[in-house]
C-alpha cells in the first residue's frame, strides 16, 4: 500500500504516540529505535516475534503480535510500510479515527529534522555503503545518527541516535521515498533499472535519481561511483548544472589500494571509496576514515559468514538483482579459493522475476552448482506463469548442476547433497532464503 507523504513533515516531538504497523521490518524498526531514543512514545505490531521486536521492547516500545484495531485506540500517528495491505485492521481503524498516517519516508524525515543528512542512494550497495560511512565517521570522531537497511555486525543494530549533527541514512528509491529527505549531501552508488512495478519504465526510474539529486542542499555535494554508467551519467548532468560532484572508481582505488577490506569484490571496494570520499568532503581526516573502513566487519545479510562445518563454508547475502548476484558470486569465487561455489537463490517479487528472471539465471551461471527456490511473493500475489523455474531454466550450466526446488523445506538437503569439503555454500535473496543457512550447517553437523 502506498500512503501519500503529507505536505507538512513534522519533527518527532510533534507526532505524539507513534504506532508502527510492521515494526519488525528493517526500515521501520530502525526509525522506531531512533524515536525511542528521542523520547517518543512508540508502539507497533508485527506478524511474528523476533529478536528485533524483543530489542524494541527492551527499549520501551509496546509491541503486539498480530494486527487488531484496538491496538491503535490511544495513538496519534500511524506509520505503515508499503508491505501493509489496505485491509489491515489497524490501518482501517486509523482512517476511521482520522489519525495522522505516515509512510516510512515521512517517518524517517521526522527523525532527520535538525540534522545534517547524508543520504546514500543507488540500485545496489546502499546498505553496505551506509554502513561503511557510519563506521568511518565514528572512527573519525563523529557521533552520527544512522538508519541502515540491515544490522551492523559490530553493533547488532540497524539504527542509533547519535549526539552529533550528522545523520547517515540509507535512502530507498523503490517507492520514491528518497525524494522526501532534502539531504545536505548524497552518495549514489549506481543507477540501474529496478522496481519497475512502481516506476513503470527505465526512463522514469533514472529521472527519479535526477529529482533526488535536485533535492540536495545547494552548498552540499554529490558522490557518484562512475564505474556504473548510470551513476556516471548522473554525475555529468549535475556537474554541468553547477553542483559540487565528486567521482570515485574501484578501478582507481587510490587511498585504499593497499588496504584489505572485509570482503573482496570490486563493488565492495567501490562502496568503501564512496564512503571515504563523502567523509573527506565533510572535512574529516583521511587516515581516520580509512581506519574506520578497515575496522568494518560487515552488515548482516551482506556476504555474511554464517559458519563452517566439515570444511564447507556457508555464507548468506541479500543479493536479488542480476547485477548484485554477479557481484556477490565474484566475491564468493575469491573467498572459495580452490573450492567450488554452491549457490541457492530465491527470486524476490513476481514483477522483478518477470522482468529480470532470465538475467538472474545467466548471472547464477558463475556458480558451480545452483539451486533455485520459488519466488518470494512479499507484497504481490502469485502468478503461475512466473516461478523460480523461469530462473532455473536460464542458468547456463549442465542440467545436472541446476535444480529448481519449489518446496522450501527441501532446499537445505539439496544443498548439502551437492556440497563437499572445500566448497563455499552461498544463499542469496531478499526473502526467507536467509533461513536456509542455519539448516545447512545443522545438516552438515549431523553428517
Go through the domains of the chain in sequence order and give each one's CATH number.
12-103 (3.40.50.720), 115-295 (3.40.1190.10), 304-445 (3.90.190.20)
300 is catalytic: no
pLDDT at 195: 67
What lies within 8 Å, CB to CB, of 298 at 6+ separation is 131, 153, 262, 263, 304
pLDDT in tens, 83-132: 888 999 999 999 999 999 999 999 999 999 989 999 999 988 889 999 99
Cell of 78: 500511524
Confidence of residue 292 (pLDDT cuts 50, 70, 90): very high
Q: Which of 90, 170, 173, 324 is catalytic?
A: 170
pTM of the predicted model over 0.95: no
Q: For residue 306, indicate whether it is catalytic.
A: no
| Confidence label for 149 from pLDDT (cuts 50, 70 and 90) | confident
Is 323 annotated in a binding site? The answer is no
Q: Is 77 labeled as catalytic in the residue annotation?
A: no
**Residue 71 C-alpha from the chain's centroid:** 29
pLDDT at 357 over 70: yes
Is 128 a known ligand-binding residue?
A: yes
Could you say which of 52, 77, 127, 353 is catalytic?
127
Query: Given this model, what pLDDT does residue 261 score?
Result: 86
**Is 122 labelled as part of a ligand binding site?**
yes
pLDDT at 197: 73
Average pLDDT, stretch 1-23? Answer: 91
Catalytic residue among 77, 90, 93, 126: 126
- Residue 402 sits at φ, ψ, to 5 deg, of -130, 135
pLDDT for residue 191 is more than 80? yes
pLDDT at 198 over 80: no
- Residue 431 pLDDT > 90, yes or no? no
Asked whether the predicted pLDDT for residue 262 surpasses 90, the reply is: no
Residue 124 annotated as binding? yes
353 is in an annotated binding site: no
Residue 33: predicted pLDDT: 96
Amino acid at each position: 500500500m502506498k500512503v501519500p507523504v503529507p505536505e507538512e513533515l513534522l519533527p518527532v516531538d510533534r507526532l505524539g504516540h507513534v504506532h508502527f504497523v510492521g515494526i519488525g521490518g528493517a526500515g521501520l524498526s530502525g526509525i522506531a529505535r531512533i524515536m525511542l531514543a528521542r523520547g517518543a512514545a512508540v508502539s507497533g505490531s508485527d506478524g511474528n516475534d523476533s529478536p528485533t521486536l524483543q530489542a524494541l521492547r527492551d527499549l520501551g516500545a509496546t509491541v503486539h503480535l498480530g494486527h487488531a484495531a484496538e491496538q491503535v485506540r490511544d495513538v496519534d500517528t500511524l506509520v505503515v510500510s508499503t508491505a501493509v495491505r489496505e485491509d489491515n485492521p489497524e490501518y482501517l481503524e486509523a482512517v476511521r479515527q482520522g489519525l495522522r498516517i505516515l509512510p516510512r519516508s515521512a517517518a524517517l524525515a521526522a527523525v532527520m529534522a535538525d540534522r545534517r543528512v547524508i543520504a546514500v542512494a543507488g540500485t545496489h550497495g546502499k546498505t553496505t555503503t551506509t554502513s561503511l560511512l557510519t563506521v568511518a565517521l565514528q572512527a573519525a570522531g563523529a557521533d552520527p545518527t544512522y538508519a541502515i537497511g540491515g544490522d551492523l555486525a559490530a553493533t547488532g543494530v540497524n539504527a542509533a541516535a547519535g549526539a552529533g549533527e550528522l545523520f547517515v541514512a540509507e535512502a530507498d528509491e523503490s517507492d520514491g521515498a528518497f525524494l522526501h529527505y532534502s539531504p545536505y549531501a548524497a552518495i549514489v552508488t549506481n543507477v540501474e533499472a529496478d522496481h519497475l512495478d512502481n516506476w513503470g519504465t527505465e526512463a522514469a526510474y533514472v529521472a527519479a535519481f535526477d529529482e533526488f539529486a535536485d533535492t540536495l542542499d545547494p552548498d552540499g555535494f554529490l558522490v557518484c561511483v562512475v564505474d556504473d554508467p548510470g551513476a556516471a551519467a548522473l554525475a555529468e548532468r549535475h556537474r554541468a548544472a553547477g553542483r559540487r560532484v565528486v567521482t570515485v572508481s574501484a578501478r582507481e582505488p587510490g587511498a585504499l589500494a593497499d588496504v584489505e577490506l572485509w570482503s573482496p569484490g570490486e563493488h565492495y571496494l567501490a562502496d568503501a571509496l564512496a564512503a571515504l570520499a563523502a567523509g573527506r568532503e565533510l572535512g574529516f581526516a583521511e587516515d581516520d576514515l580509512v581506519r574506520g573502513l578497515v575496522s568494518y566487519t560487515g552488515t548482516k545479510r551482506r556476504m555474511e559468514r554464517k559458519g563452517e562445518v566439515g570444511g564447507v563454508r556457508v555464507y548468506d547475502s541479500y543479493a536479488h538483482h542480476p547485477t548484485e548476484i554477479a557481484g556477490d558470486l565474484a566475491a564468493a569465487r575469491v573467498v572459495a579459493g580452490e573450492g567450488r561455489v554452491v549457490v541457492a537463490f530465491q527470486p524476490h517479487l513476481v514483477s522483478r522475476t518477470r522482468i529480470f528472471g532470465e538475467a538472474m539465471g545467466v548471472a547464477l551461471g558463475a556458480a558451480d552448482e545452483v539451486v533455485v527456490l520459488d519466488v518470494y511473493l512479499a507484497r504481490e500475489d502469485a502468478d503461475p506463469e512466473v516461478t523460480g523455474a523461469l530462473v532455473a531454466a536460464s542458468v547456463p550450466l549442465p542440467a545436472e548442476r541446476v535444480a529448481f526446488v519449489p518446496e522450501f523445506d527441501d532446499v537445505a538437503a539439496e544443498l548439502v547433497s551437492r556440497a563437499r569439503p572445500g566448497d563455499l555454500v552461498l544463499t542469496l535473496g531478499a526473502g526467507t532464503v536467509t533461513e536456509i543457512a542455519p539448516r545447512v550447517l545443522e545438516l552438515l553437523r549431523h553428517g
